[in-house]
């Protein structure tokens, strides 16, 4: 059973990534647009909000795949999945693997370790502290049975 990120998870990523409809160079000089999209972005490029949303969904696919690799071990609920997709979108699949201890940490241990990923360039950043706190809060939020399925798992009416 593979999950996809929910609207709630996308909203979390959007909140912390912010959206820019005109290309800009990030802190290391990479041309970026939308919600942190970097593939085939060039100076002067502009997009619409709809394009930014489409780029974000495409960019989340790799993070979804990385989190889904651990589904058989953890059976993530939608909130845990969304929080970890946001984490992976921001920190990468390698840091996800480290966070999960390669699949041997418990859910409680994972939750406890999320806030540790708050540095960039060796410095604690307030934005990352806030993002990890929001991801941890979502990860720790139980899901009711009615709210536990993602769009991909729902059956047509």
- Cα distance between residue 7 and residue 29, in whole Å: 30
Distance separating alpha carbons of residues 57 and 92, to the nearest angstrom = 16
17 in active site: yes
Asked whether 54 and 34 are in contact (CB, 8 A), the reply is no
* Residue from 17, 112, 135, 153 carrying the catalytic annotation: 17
Which sequence positions are flagged as catalytic? 17
């Amino acid at each position: 059973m593979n999950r996809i990120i929910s609207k709630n998870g996308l909203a979390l990523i959007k909140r912390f990534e912010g959206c820019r409809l005109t290309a800009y160079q990030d802190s290391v000089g990479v041309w970026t647009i939308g919600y942190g999209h970097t593939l085939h972005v060039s100076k002067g490029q502009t997009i619409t909000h709809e394009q930014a949303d489409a780029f974000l969904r495409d960019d989340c696919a790799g993070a979804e795949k990385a989190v889904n690799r651990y589904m058989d071990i953890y059976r993530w609920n939608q909130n845990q999945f969304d929080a970890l997709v946001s984490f992976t979108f921001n920190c990468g699949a390698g840091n996800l693997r480290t966070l999960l201890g390669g699949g041997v940490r418990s859910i409680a241990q994972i939750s406890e370790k999320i806030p540790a990923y708050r540095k960039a360039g060796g410095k604690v950043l307030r934005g990352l502290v806030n993002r990890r706190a929001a991801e941890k809060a979502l990860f720790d939020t139980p899901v009711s049975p009615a709210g536990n399925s993602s769009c991909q798992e729902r059956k047509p009416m």
